[in-house]
Amino acid sequence: MSKLLIVGTVAFDAIETPFGKTDKILGGAATYIGLSAANFNISSSIVSVVGDDFPEDYLKMLQEKNIDTAAVEIVEGGKTFFWSGKYHNDLNSRDTLDTQLNVLANFNPVVPNDYKDAEIVMLGNLHPLVQLSVLEQMSTKPKLAILDTMNFWMEDAFIEDLRKVIAKVDVITINDEEARQLSGEYSLVKAARAIEKMGPKYVVIKKGEHGALLFHNGQIFFAPALPLEEVFDPTGAGDTFAGGFAGYLTKTGDLSFENMKNAIIHGSNLASFCVEKFGTERMENLGREEVQKRLQQFKELTQFEIELS
Amino acid sequence: MSKLLIVGTVAFDAIETPFGKTDKILGGAATYIGLSAANFNISSSIVSVVGDDFPEDYLKMLQEKNIDTAAVEIVEGGKTFFWSGKYHNDLNSRDTLDTQLNVLANFNPVVPNDYKDAEIVMLGNLHPLVQLSVLEQMSTKPKLAILDTMNFWMEDAFIEDLRKVIAKVDVITINDEEARQLSGEYSLVKAARAIEKMGPKYVVIKKGEHGALLFHNGQIFFAPALPLEEVFDPTGAGDTFAGGFAGYLTKTGDLSFENMKNAIIHGSNLASFCVEKFGTERMENLGREEVQKRLQQFKELTQFEIELS
């Protein structure tokens, strides 16, 4: 069985949407990635850091989903990373109200020994040098290293570090605006081609409610977001997508472009659940049957039978 | 062989995009619909009106594509409808610079006798009462009446007329913002359900570069727009989409939901050509082989092979 190594934040979020607001709840890229990938019954480990204010119950919940949290460092006397944001009425944009780096400011990731040969590595959004450090600790070159990042690291202060890690990964997942910023190209087709030249053989461009595109060597695959009656809270949707993508590839071990299409669909499918409730709530309580049922909906939504002549 | 009756504008456009600008060129909803539907080698007729300033060559070009233009009234001493617009840099929005209704102001559509029993009627964007008049002239109830409209007709002055024609059609095609305006629902799933209650059994929501959705009785189908290196001029893309949709259904005569999925794909496919050059240029010179080739690209873009358990 392949193993999935996940690095990213484990954090507190406080979220406000047009539908309500939360106090500090469980959040963080690695949390969403882990919960999503756990749907494939794989072995995974999270490398992260929290303060001693982080509830033991949250770690237990992750462990019960077969996610190894031994490499989640708990800093005595430290406070957990905290993010607070408010979504606009269309849920497509948000304002960050507060960011407290706390223990994340001095995070030195340590890859556990039994994951130094993990076949798949998922680098959640973090300082590029932290992501790079994880890659450098691997004893065996992973079959697939996947990088998620964001526009913050594309600013002058970080772009050189970001380029270093981009050059070392196989897949990058970013949103459409970030792809444009990183490449300087407006057309996503051109942007993806430019980013492929920076290193990654596969470029995944996330368009939120407008779906996701997978580019590879002139080939393109597209998965829509499932049209939902109501999107309740988009927080974590991108990480859930990435976690589903990485988890499915870890389970199947098939890294062909055709199978990556399936991974994109699985990621989109899982993300469609994530947005239905606040934070991680929906992902903590997700049944195999409803996941399969919604995959069937994805088929009906996208598959057609045109005969070509 | 089924027949397609098209009503809509035949017009002059002057277009400015980030890539250049045109003088008065051929435009109009019915023009784009007709050119698109012509790819299916069907019999079609356009009901419209132009002034005597309208070049005979334009009509000849349409006739050479087997589009009957006998019902395009030529008003002696009248001037053809003129629209001028300028697209913003992202090509997703535009400003109207000038609209001269001219002969359109007093347009009384007359359905030719041999099209009063047309199986498919495509009502391009026009005053709702003009659209209604066409439906009322039919001797046989069409198997499928398709309505395209826009936000302009959703204002207080016209909304009651619009509701009358909406109640009488089988399919409505509108864009996402218009669907929200018409229904008062933000969620497109809810918007489509609300619009279905107004009459149309099928609701097509066009999202431009983000694709199109087909809703029917709880079922949803989605077609992406083909990711292009460059979108040159979006003018007419929505009409080309509708023309492909109507043309394919006219050719096949199969009005099942499954076949409508194919019609949506054909419409999206043809629209992907329309935007590659200014105005109607690309659609006037479109070969069967390139259309088939791009359909294959649509398959590769969207089709996957997940086994459900």
Instruction: Output the 3-class SS for A283-302.
Output: HHCCCHHHHHHHHHHHHHHH
Find the closest chain A residue to B248 by CA distance: A306
DSSP letter (8 states) at residue B308: P
Please tell me if residue B305 touches chain A, with a CB cutoff of 8 Å: yes
Please give the angle made by the CA atoms of A140, A128 and A165, to the nearest 5 degrees: 50
The shortest CB-CB distance from B262 to any of A295, A302, A304 is to A304
Distance between CA atoms of A232 and B104, rounded to whole angstroms?
46
Amino acid in position A107: F
Percent of chain A with pLDDT over 70: 100
Residue A20 CA to residue A12 CA, distance in Å, equals 17
B177–chain A Cβ distance below 8 A for any pair: no
H helix intervals, chain B? 29-37, 56-64, 128-137, 159-166, 176-183, 188-196, 237-252, 257-274, 281-284, 288-302
Q: Taking CB atoms and an 8 Å cutoff, what residues of chain A touch B186? A: 89-90
Residues of B in contact with A211 (CB under 8 A): 210-211, 224
Cα separation, B101 vs A50, in Å, equals 66
pLDDT score at B91? 84
Question: B206 CB near a chain A CB, below 8 Å?
Answer: no
How far away is chain B from the Cα of A304, in angstroms, using its nearest Cα?
A: 6
Q: Is pLDDT at A7 greater than 90 in this prediction? A: yes
- Portion 255-284 of B in contact with A at CB < 8 A: 258, 261-262, 265-266
| A151 CA to centre of own chain | 15
CB-based contacts of A60: which residues, under 8 Å, 6+ apart?
A: none
Q: Does B76 touch chain A (CB under 8 A)?
A: no
Size of interface A-B (CB pairs under 8 A): 103
A229 and B CB contact within 8 Å: yes
Which whole number is the average pLDDT over B138-161? 97
Helix (H, G, I), strand (E, B) or coil at B119: coil
B165-198, pLDDT tens digit by residue? 999 999 999 999 999 999 999 999 999 999 999 9
Q: Mean per-residue pLDDT for A182-207?
A: 97
Report the predicted TM-score, pTM, of the whole model to 2 decimal places: 0.95
Chain A contact present for B157, CB below 8 A:
no
Please state, in angstroms and rounded to a whole number, the distance separating the CA atoms of residues A220 and A223: 10
A268: pLDDT strictly greater than 70: yes
Q: Nearest Cβ partner of B222 from A189, A224, A309?
A: A224
Sequence letter at residue A283 = M
The pLDDT assigned to B139 comes to 98
Segment B88-109 mean pLDDT: 92
CA distances to B30, B53, B127, B286 from B4, in Å: 12, 27, 20, 20
Q: Do B229 and A187 touch (CB under 8 A)?
A: yes
Which of B39, B220, B222 best tests the A interface by mutation, with the highest count of A CBs <10 A? B222
Identify which of A261, A304, A308 has the shortest CB distance to residue B261.
A304
Copy the structure tokens of residue B29: 């909803």
Which of B187, B296, B309 lies closest to A230 in CB terms?
B187
State whether B303 and A302 contact (CB < 8 Å). yes
Look at residue A202 in the predicted model and tell me its pLDDT: 98
d(CA A119, CA A1): 10
Residue type, B301: L
Per-residue pLDDT band for B309 (boundaries 50, 70, 90) equals low
Of B15, B189, B32, which Cα lies nearest the Cα of B87? B15
Mean pLDDT of all residues in B2-6: 96
CB contact under 8 A, A300 and B186: no
Residues B199-230: b if buried by 16+ CB within 10 A, e if exposed: bbebbbbbbbbbbbbbbbeeebbbbbbbbbee
Determine how many CB atoms are found less than 10 A away from the CB of residue B70: 13
Chain A window 77-136: which residues touch B at a Cβ cutoff of 8 Å?
89-90
Report the alpha-carbon distance of residue A163 to residue A128 in Å, rounded: 8
Q: Do B222 and A222 touch (CB under 8 A)?
A: no
Inter-chain CB proximity B210 and A207 less than 8 Å: yes
pLDDT digits (tens, 9 = 90+) for B255-298: 999 999 999 999 999 999 999 999 999 999 999 999 999 999 99
Q: What is the mean pLDDT of residues A281-287?
A: 97
Binned at pLDDT 50, 70 and 90, residue B243 comes out as very high
pLDDT above 90 for B93: no
- Picking from A77, A70, A146, the residue whose alpha carbon sits closest to that of residue A106 is A77
- Best A306, A307, A308, A309 residue to mutate vs chain B (most B CBs within 10 Å): A306
Q: pLDDT tens digits, residue range A53-79?
A: 999 999 999 999 999 999 999 999 999
More confident residue, B209 or B90: B209
On the 0-12 / 13-18 / 19+ scale of CB atoms within 10 A, B89 is: exposed
- What is the per-residue pLDDT across A89-139, written as a single tens digit (0 to 9) for each? 888 889 999 999 999 999 999 999 999 999 999 999 999 999 999 999 999
Cα distances (Å, whole numbers) of residue B234 to B24, B84, B266? 16, 13, 17
pLDDT digits (tens, 9 = 90+) for B210-235: 999 999 999 999 999 999 998 999 99
Nearest chain A residue to B260, by CA: A304
What is the reported pLDDT for A285?
Answer: 95
Reference A268, options A248, A250, A253; nearest CA is A248
* pLDDT for res B92: 81
Contacts with A7 (C-beta within 8 Å, 6 or more apart), sequence order: A30, A46, A47, A48, A109, A121, A122, A123, A124, A126, A130, A131, A134
CA distances from B152 to B92, B162, B165, B203, B307 (A): 18, 10, 15, 19, 46
The average confidence (pLDDT) of chain B is 96
Q: How near does any CA of chain B get to the CA of A293, in Å?
A: 9
How far away is chain A from the Cα of B156, in angstroms, using its nearest Cα? Answer: 25
Residue A309 has pLDDT above 70, yes or no: no
Residue A15 sits at φ, ψ, to 5 deg, of -120, 135
> Within 13 Å and on the Cβ side, how many CA atoms surround A99?
8
**Is beta strand A94-100 parallel, antiparallel or unpaired with respect to A82-87?**
antiparallel
> Quick check: A308 pLDDT over 90?
no
Q: Which of A33, A17, A5 is nearest to A238 (CA)?
A: A33
Mark residue B253 as left, alpha or beta (left: phi above 0; alpha: psi -120 to 50; beta: remaining): left
| Per-residue pLDDT tens over the stretch A229-258 | 989 999 999 999 999 999 999 999 999 999
Which residues are CB-neighbours of A39 under 8 A, at least 6 positions away? A244, A247, A270, A286, A288, A291
